[in-house]
């Protein structure tokens, strides 16, 4: 493909007088799944916010699907790029039913056949139709995150920004949501830019990752680097070691885990 799905060049982002992200440059190819990894305060979520238009104080270049992004809100932009937030307990309006939440983007963009589209989308994210007229407080965390993903997909965007979509969820629910995200990407040909601090999730979901520390990208590595820890930057190696390294790299353990894999 000629133009990358997301292209950032010399991006600096500030909150007030404080510059929190400096010199961020990377491209995400169409159909790729790219991860931003780092500790809290490293600026990874801020990069997503700037792309989504929620952190308007930036300099440099952001372009999505070949079109440069301005600083203000941009209706055409929302049709191509949507964001899913970290905490499904905070990102859904408590007094709006799931149906209202999902129809709202369609109403704003003047798209018809809302009812059919809501029904179809609930099916796509694996939610039963009976949830359609419920309120968020009647849903569990995993169900809410499915609603948040459905809301982001309503406008049929091509690029999804995922801000730690599973860090507020239990392990078994995390597995369901990760499977869902992977399936949606395959079915709809989406491009993902995902923020996470969980390296095994990167290994499952993503093709490449950028590691951020103190507002700068210190390294861009393919996911295969996670297999053997072959990172160039010392900070990345520390992060990798703190995450427990790769226990499967040990040949004895690897053999043991392979033998029980089919279960």
Residues that bind another protein (CB under 8 A): 39-40, 140-143, 170-176, 178-179, 182-183, 197-201, 203-205, 226-227, 238-239, 241-249, 256-257, 260-261, 263
The single residue listed with the structure tokens 């493909």 is: 1
Please say which residue, 4 or 142, places its beta carbon nearer to another protein. Answer: 142
- Angle at CA of residue 107, ends 90 and 82, nearest 5°: 50
Shortest separation between residue 99's beta carbon and another protein, angstroms: 19
Backbone angles phi, psi at 49, to 5 degrees: -60, -40
Please say which residue, 74 or 207, places its beta carbon nearer to another protein. Answer: 207
The single residue listed with the structure tokens 């600083």 is: 71
Please say which residue, 11 or 92, places its beta carbon nearer to another protein. Answer: 92
Shortest separation between residue 111's beta carbon and another protein, angstroms: 29
Please say which residue, 25 or 246, places its beta carbon nearer to another protein. Answer: 246
CA distance 211 to 229: 13
Shortest separation between residue 232's beta carbon and another protein, angstroms: 18
In angstroms, how far is CA 86 from the centroid of its own chain? 9
Shortest separation between residue 8's beta carbon and another protein, angstroms: 24
CA atoms in the 13 A half-sphere facing the CB of 40: 2
Nearest to 159 by CA among 60, 65, 40, 246: 65
Shortest separation between residue 142's beta carbon and another protein, angstroms: 4
Shortest separation between residue 184's beta carbon and another protein, angstroms: 13
CA distance 166 to 141: 10
Please say which residue, 42 or 103, places its beta carbon nearer to another protein. Answer: 42
Backbone angles phi, psi at 213, to 5 degrees: -145, 125
| Whole-Å CA distances, 88 to 135, 180, 189 | 13, 15, 24
CA distance 200 to 145: 20
Please say which residue, 182 or 216, places its beta carbon nearer to another protein. Answer: 182
Please say which residue, 115 or 140, places its beta carbon nearer to another protein. Answer: 140
Shortest separation between residue 215's beta carbon and another protein, angstroms: 15
In the chain, % helix, strand, coil (3-state, to 5) comes to 40, 25, 35
């Amino acid at each position: 493909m000629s133009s990358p799905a997301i292209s950032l060049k010399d991006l600096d982002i500030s909150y007030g007088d404080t510059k929190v992200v400096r010199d961020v440059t990377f491209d995400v190819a169409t159909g790729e799944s790219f991860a931003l990894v780092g500790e809290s305060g490293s600026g990874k979520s801020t990069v997503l916010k700037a792309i989504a238009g929620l952190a308007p104080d930036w300099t440099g270049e952001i372009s999505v699907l070949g079109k440069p992004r301005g600083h203000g809100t941009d209706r055409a932009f929302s049709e191509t790029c949507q964001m899913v937030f970290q905490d499904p307990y905070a990102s859904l309006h408590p007094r709006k039913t799931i149906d209202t939440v999902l129809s709202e983007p369609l109403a704003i963009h003047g798209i018809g056949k809302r009812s059919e589209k809501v029904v179809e989308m609930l099916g796509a994210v694996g939610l039963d139709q009976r949830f359609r007229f419920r309120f968020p407080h009647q849903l569990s965390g995993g169900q809410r995150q499915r609603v948040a993903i459905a809301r982001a997909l309503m406008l049929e965007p091509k690029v999804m920004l995922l801000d730690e979509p599973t860090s507020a969820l239990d392990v078994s629910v995390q597995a369901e949501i990760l499977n869902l995200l992977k399936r949606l990407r395959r079915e709809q040909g989406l491009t993902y830019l995902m923020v996470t601090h969980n390296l095994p999730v990167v290994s499952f979901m993503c093709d490449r990752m950028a590691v951020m520390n103190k507002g700068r990208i210190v390294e861009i590595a393919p996911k295969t680097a996670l297999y053997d820890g072959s990172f160039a930057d010392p900070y990345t190696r520390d992060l990798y070691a703190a995450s427990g390294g790769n226990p499967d790299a040990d040949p004895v353990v690897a053999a043991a885990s392979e033998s029980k894999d089919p279960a």
